[in-house]
Amino acid sequence: MKAIVPAALAASLAGTAFAQSNVTVFGVVDLAVTRGSGSISNQTGLTSGQLAASRLAFKGTEDLGNGLKAGFWLEAGINADTGTGQSTNTNNQTTGFVKNGGFTFNRRSHLSLGGNWGEIRLGRDFVPQYWNIAHYDPLDLSGVGTSQVLNSSIGGPTLVRASNSISYLYGHGFNAAAIGYGPGGFSGSGFQFQAMGYLGENPSGSATSKDGNGYGLRALYSTGNFTVSGATGRTRYAAGDTRQSNVGASYNLGVVELMGMYEWDRNGPLKARGWLAGGRVPVGVGSIRVAYSRYDSDAAGSPTAKKWAVGYVHPLSKRTALYTTFAHVSNDGPSASALNGAVTAPGKSSNGFDLGIKHSF
């Protein structure tokens, strides 16, 4: 349940004499008993975020008048099973990973200014092309059933998020009251667009001065029940750029929501491609979720990973749900993808199972 902090307190927290229209504290605590088995070793554990990532977040807006609003979003990933924080990346490069287990706003940390013309967003955020992997996965890229397009990706440090970014977002019917809230600050039918540029912030005059610089673009069209979108992005590195492009679509028939996506990636000379097909079927108050995903590259031996996943979510209320998921991944060539902490040999398979509860607040 979202808690609204009174305007006077919000102003005090912000250190300014101007009252914000609202500040909201929200998040998720998600824990599951998990099991993974592989040809080399198995693992059983209590794991965080198998249906939705555990997190603590703050967001707010200020009405500046004349249809203009300012907003912020600070979101920290939490390992709910241990109470530790999660890693972040400061410069979109392998040298920028911060892995101290402390509290970081690793998921999102940005400031926005928007109106009916759209939104300008500054800070750390999801890259546009990530949203096609996320939105067209029936299992929401969480837990043992997470799309193999993400799990096996060669996308590098900016596969999911980028720091030091500047974005412009626009959608049909864009409302300034929605700035910062969601992948594009908007939802519903019509045309939507996002463009992002980001910086590695390296000193000039060296071969690696542009490492971590990049961009992402995404366009989407929705009628409400039918959605189609495409995205592309590139991050520069002296050792070889990473490139990521994908397309996806979904169609809600009422009795089932079908979805799928296709991706093609490049990391230096290495090329890869992947795809997913699946759907969600309403069953009473809950839903069954099914997906098949595959990812392969042209590396030596043609490593390929293929995954089946099926799960069920049963809401106990608007904020609390029970869930379970089973997945099986098979590997070809040197691929050795394994599930839930298990270890499997190249070319062998792995099974995984989640049984958990999620609570949103």
- What is the C-alpha to C-alpha distance for residues 131 and 137, in angstroms, rounded to an integer? 10
Here the CATH number for the domain that contains residue 266 is 2.40.160.10
Cα three-residue angle 247-89-77, rounded to 5 degrees: 80
For 205: left if phi > 0, alpha if psi spans -120 to 50, otherwise beta; the answer is left
Q: What is the DSSP letter of 95?
A: G
pLDDT for residue 183 is more than 60 = no
pLDDT at 190: 87
Pure H helices in the chain = 7-14, 130-135, 148-151
How many domains does the chain contain in total? 1
pLDDT band at residue 45 under the 50/70/90 scheme: very high
pLDDT for residue 188 is more than 90 = no
pLDDT for residue 320 is more than 80 = yes
Report the largest interatomic distance among the alpha carbons of the chain, rounded to a whole angstrom: 63
Whole-model pTM? 0.90
Half-sphere CA count of 56, side-chain side, radius 13 A: 10
pLDDT for residue 20 is more than 90 = no
Cα three-residue angle 271-274-280, rounded to 5 degrees: 165
The predicted-structure confidence for 238-272, as pLDDT tens digits, reads as follows 999 999 999 999 999 999 999 999 999 999 999 99
Q: Determine phi and psi for 335, rounding to 5 degrees.
A: -60, 135
Please provide the DSSP assignment of 270-288 as one string.
EEEEEEEEEEEEEETTEEE
- Structural domain range at position 321: 3-360
Contact 128, 135 (CB under 8 A): no
- What is the C-alpha to C-alpha distance for residues 277 and 136, in angstroms, rounded to an integer? 8
